[in-house]
Amino acid sequence: MFRTPGESAPEHLVAHVDGGARGNPGPAGYGVVIEDRRGARIAELSRYLGHCTNNFAEYSGLIAALNYVLDHDHSALRVRSDSELMVRQMNGVYKVRSPELRPLYEEARRLARQLKWFRIEHVRREKNAEADRLANEAMDRGI
C-alpha cells in the first residue's frame, strides 16, 4: 500500500490536506486541494467540524481526500500535509495513543488500503497554503 524507496510513482492525484482548530480544541475545519499529477486543480474540499482538536481536523481532511479519490474511481494518491504527527502516525513511525484519534486513524488506513498506491508525506506549512486557506474559511463559516 505505501510506497517503498526506489519504487516509481504511478499516475496519481495529489491532495494537499490541512486542518485547524482555533483554541485547540475550538472551532475547527479542514481544507483539501486535489490536483492531478501535473498540478491542475481538480477539487477543493472544505468543511466546518464544530468544536474539536487540530489533530481531529487534520485526520478529517485526510479522510475527506481519501473518500473523494475513491468516490471518483482513482486508484493512486499522494497526500501532502503539514501535520507531522498525522504523517508519522500514518507511516507507522508514531503510535496513535489518543482515543479520540484512533477511530479516525483506523478509518484513514482502511480507506488508503483500498487504493492501489498511496503515499503520505510531510511538507512545510508554506507549501500547503491553499489547503490552509480552505481550512480557515471553514472555521470562519462556523464562527
Going from N- to C-terminal start, the domains of the chain cover 13-142
**Which pLDDT score is estimated for 10?**
87
Q: What percent of the chain has pLDDT over 90?
A: 91
CATH superfamily of 13-142: Ribonuclease H-like superfamily/Ribonuclease H (3.30.420.10)
Amino acid letter at 95?
Answer: K
**Which pLDDT score is estimated for 37?**
86
Q: Is the pTM of this model over 0.75?
A: yes
Q: Rounded distance, CA 97 to CA 133, Å?
A: 29
The per-residue pLDDT of the chain, averaged, comes to 95
Q: Would you give the distance in Å from CA 85 to the centre of its chain?
A: 12
* Order of strands across the sheet that contains 117-122: 41-52, 26-35, 13-21, 76-81, 117-122
**Which pLDDT score is estimated for 9?**
78
Q: Kindly give the parts of the chain with pLDDT less than 50.
A: 1, 4-5
**Cβ–Cβ < 8 Å for 18, 61:** yes
**Which pLDDT score is estimated for 16?**
98
**Which pLDDT score is estimated for 4?**
46
